[in-house]
Structure 1
Amino acid sequence: MYCCQQVLVGKNPELISILTFLCEQSHKLTNMGIYYGRQLYFKARRSIGKYDLEKLYKNNYHYKVLYSQAAQQILRTVAESFRSYYGLTKAFIDGKIPDKPRIPNYRKKGGLATVSYPAQALKLKGKQIRVPLGNTCKRWFGIDSFLIPLPSNLAFSALKELRLLPRNRCFYWEFVYEKEVVVKPQLNQENVLGIDNGVNNWLTCVSNVNTSLIVDGKHLKSMNRWYNKQISTIKENQRTGFWSNRLAAITEKRNRQMRDGINKAARIVINHCFKNNIGTIVFGWNKSQKNQIELGHKSNSEFVPIPTARLKERIAQLCDEYGIIFIETEESYTSIASFLDGDYLPNYGEKPDDWKPSGKRIKRGLYKSGNNCFVNADCNGAANIIRKVSRKLSLNLSRLCRGTLTCPQRVYLWSAKKKLSNMDLSCCVVST
């Protein structure tokens, strides 16, 4: 399997100047390829071939200033985008997709684009990677290559591609490498973990083996709130479309924090499955749940920026890697129905007119069942998510009882007292 590791480029003025120049040339070469593809489609109604752009622009100085294989990768990416457009257009005509696709458009003037180097273009010198430049670049500036450090956790022999990614006025190296398939643990697939997502409680997890936990989301919400406040303050007296180094820096910091939170939360869930021999995960998810949402200005600013969809995809990736079954199910009526009373759970749009839940949520975080039992409201929803698929999967829910739903453990992603390590992300746990 292939993995990708991002490394932030340090503040080296000489190296930053070289990377900026490369990304500018990649941006211009990309626009040239898009121009040819658009004109070929509009005027001749012809499709672009895989190697057409390379033959057309091989004598262009934007092509020559880059290393030949890097320039080829840029133009082939453009050709692939047009071939995808042709395929989607055909699918739209055949009625296979609902929305009409748009032809690839030009990149904005003055932007930066990604540069890719295949592994055969790179060489290892000591503990550094030699990245080559084009002959024209050598003739202009007198340099033919530059060196970057190889990450200590990667082997050069496993490296397949090196990408230079410009984003928010900084640069990242993306190391695409081949990872050996790990021995998948033999987990019991009859043991299932139900996950209900939210904001303050980012993930509420309940299993049929008498375990429950909550991945805290308050810190993540606080980061988003502080980011929105900074953006609002800086832009308050500025013109429309204003962007600065300060805005780029705080945006990039916020994005790195979100990515770190996603990786930590996903690892916590997977480690919980390993510890309790759980081989199936059921994730409650309503598609397009954030589209045209109207919770109010304040609630929208807290709910919409939380990257729960990316977290779901990350959990699904880890499940595929470790042989855990991942099931996504719609979660309509799981929060208001009572698990302990066995309320019927209709799908969205199929609720009977006389349907009424046995219990109700009496205040934030507390659910009262029909027989006056008090349980955690989010745990009640996670248990109902399991019940949504229990008949289809023939699951035994006899151990999923009131005690599991009453006192879940709360796990914090970041803690001032104890740092989360890569090997053990189950620390910082307290009972709630």
Structure 2
Amino acid sequence: MMKTSVLRTERIKMKQNFTLKQLARQSKNLYNYGNYIIKKQLERSKYLTKEYDLANMLRYHPCYTKMPAHSAQQTIKFLCKSWKGYIRAKRDYKKHPEKYNFEEPKEPKYKKKRGFHTVYFTADQVSLKEGSYLHFPKRVGLKVETRLATNTKINHARLLFKGTCFILEIVYEQEIEELGDLKAKHILSLDLGVNNLLAGLSNSMSPFIICGRKLKAINQWYNKEKARIQSVYDLQGVGEYGQKMKKIIDKRYWRMEDYIHKASRKVINVCADNDIDTIVIGYNQKWKQRTQMGKRNNQNFVNIPFLKLIQKIQYKAEEAGIQVILTEESYTSKSSFLDGEPIQKHVRYLGRRVKRGLFRSKTGLFLNADCNSAGNIGRKVFPVLFNYGTVDAVSHPVCLTV
């Protein structure tokens, strides 16, 4: 098989220190100065300042000279790219406002006075030495231990501020085998949910469920703590988020990220153990907008990052040589999988959900409601192949621990 090169990112959490703060603050100052020049130029001549011209204007400015040259250039490049994207979006908005939910695109804003901006490092500025240590330019004076091999090809690195800490993202190249035109034989279909984060049904293995109650518990803890801290802030007259609020936001983010990573890894491990070559996932674009599942269910559903979960499954499946197909999931929960009912709107459906989490088919067979949805998602893409192995769907699905 031919090999192809893909980009992967290693993320390292770093404590705040003077060096990192100074770098991020100078990057913010440079961004704001450049933004000011571009805005004034547009007011005068209606023309966007070019990246090369902007770099020449700011070359001797203190915020430019206090940064490594390549990093300063990358900040200017990012700013110009943001403005070009804004202008393109504004033109497109006039023709197709529905693509933007009828909300006009906004121009790049200034960064906050006491805020930070991402610092970019090119491949020429960073190098892996002494085993797995990433070395930065001398004037930065930074050396970070990574999990990468010495011969890893670095694409670029970026340092960004996240609430109470800095995150170093190292983007590197990795070679994987091309999938090519795979013929689907062993298929796993996944249905995403709240109580059951993932329900999996396959034509070659027993069904399984990965619990989503841990994510619900994290969100409930976060909402309770946020309300408590906000009430204290209101009494104290604190306008912006304080350190305590930032800490719980960070804690929620990292706990969610950890669980989603482990859940996606569990799915890929199950696929590898059972020779699965294709994963089908039900996903509707903009399904979190205007959801009508009740106040409590809406809150739980919207706060779970399903798209992140899908993206993590996709890149891990790519490395394992498994293809991933996304399909819309309309009427999959109401149609009866065991009866082979057409997946569309009906006046009267063959089966029905008799209890919470329990679906009954026309023939009186019971199966897990989420597994019924997962089976129908698979049928949308592979209507013939996914009719095999329906007997296993009747059995109680295995609950996998993460």
Residue 170 (structure 1) aligned with residue 200 (structure 2): no
- Does the 8 A contact of 2:207 with 2:392 survive in 1? no
SS of the aligned residue for 1:328 comes to strand
Distance in 2 between residues matched to 1:53 and 1:68, nearest whole Å? 14
Number of the residue aligned with 2:390: 401
Query: In the alignment, residue 197 of structure 1 is paired with which amino acid?
Result: L
Shift of 1:271: 2.1
Residue 224 (structure 1) aligned with residue 219 (structure 2): yes
Distance in 2 between residues matched to 1:173 and 1:397, nearest whole Å? 44
Deviations 1:291-330 (A, max 9, x none): 1334444333322111111111222233344443322212
What is the alpha-carbon root mean square deviation over aligned residues?
2.4
Number of the residue aligned with 1:327: 325
Which residue among 104, 110, 118 is the counterpart of 1:106?
110
Shift of 1:397: 2.9
Distance in 2 between residues matched to 1:224 and 1:2, nearest whole Å? 31
Number of the residue aligned with 2:120: 116
Number of the residue aligned with 1:23: 24
Number of the residue aligned with 2:153: 158
Distance in 2 between residues matched to 1:97 and 1:365, nearest whole Å? 37
SS of the aligned residue for 1:8 comes to strand
- Does the 8 A contact of 2:278 with 2:324 survive in 1? yes
Residues 315 and 125 of structure 1, relative CA distance in 2, 3 Å threshold: closer
Distance in 2 between residues matched to 1:169 and 1:53, nearest whole Å? 32
Which residue among 301, 306, 309 is the counterpart of 1:303?
301
Distance in 2 between residues matched to 1:146 and 1:82, nearest whole Å? 32
Query: In the alignment, residue 231 of structure 1 is paired with which amino acid?
Result: K
Residue 213 (structure 1) aligned with residue 208 (structure 2): yes
Which residue among 285, 290, 293 is the counterpart of 1:292?
290
Residues 5 and 237 of structure 1, relative CA distance in 2, 3 Å threshold: same
Which residue among 362, 367, 376 is the counterpart of 2:368?
376
Distance in 2 between residues matched to 1:345 and 1:82, nearest whole Å? 45
Shift of 1:52: 2.2
Number of the residue aligned with 1:411: 400
- Does the 8 A contact of 1:282 with 1:328 survive in 2? yes
Number of the residue aligned with 2:71: 70
Residues 214 and 21 of structure 1, relative CA distance in 2, 3 Å threshold: same
Count of equivalent residues: 390
Distance in 2 between residues matched to 1:90 and 1:25, nearest whole Å? 32
Residues 324 and 294 of structure 1, relative CA distance in 2, 3 Å threshold: same
Which residue among 10, 13, 16 is the counterpart of 1:5?
10
Distance in 1 between residues matched to 2:177 and 2:268, nearest whole Å? 14
SS of the aligned residue for 1:51 comes to helix
Distance in 1 between residues matched to 2:180 and 2:207, nearest whole Å? 22
Number of the residue aligned with 2:46: 45
Shift of 1:159: 2.2
Percent identity, please: 33
The gaps in structure 1 that reach 5 residues or longer are: 134-143, 414-432
Distance in 2 between residues matched to 1:247 and 1:283, nearest whole Å? 35
- Does the 8 A contact of 2:24 with 2:116 survive in 1? yes
Distance in 2 between residues matched to 1:241 and 1:281, nearest whole Å? 47
SS of the aligned residue for 2:158 comes to strand
- Does the 8 A contact of 1:188 with 1:278 survive in 2? no
Distance in 1 between residues matched to 2:397 and 2:221, nearest whole Å? 29
The gaps in structure 2 that reach 5 residues or longer are: 1-5
Distance in 2 between residues matched to 1:53 and 1:335, nearest whole Å? 55
Shift of 1:188: 5.5
- Does the 8 A contact of 1:130 with 1:145 survive in 2? no
Residue 180 (structure 1) aligned with residue 175 (structure 2): yes
Query: In the alignment, residue 68 of structure 1 is paired with which amino acid?
Result: A
Deviations 1:97-150 (A, max 9, x none): 7334322222223211111111212356645444336xxxxxxxxxx3413223
- Does the 8 A contact of 2:191 with 2:198 survive in 1? yes
- Does the 8 A contact of 1:281 with 1:327 survive in 2? yes
Distance in 2 between residues matched to 1:36 and 1:341, nearest whole Å? 66
Which residue among 312, 315, 321 is the counterpart of 1:317?
315
- Return the TM-score normalized by structure 2: 0.89
Q: How does 1:212-291 map to 2 (within 5 A)?
A: 212-239=207-234, 241-291=239-289
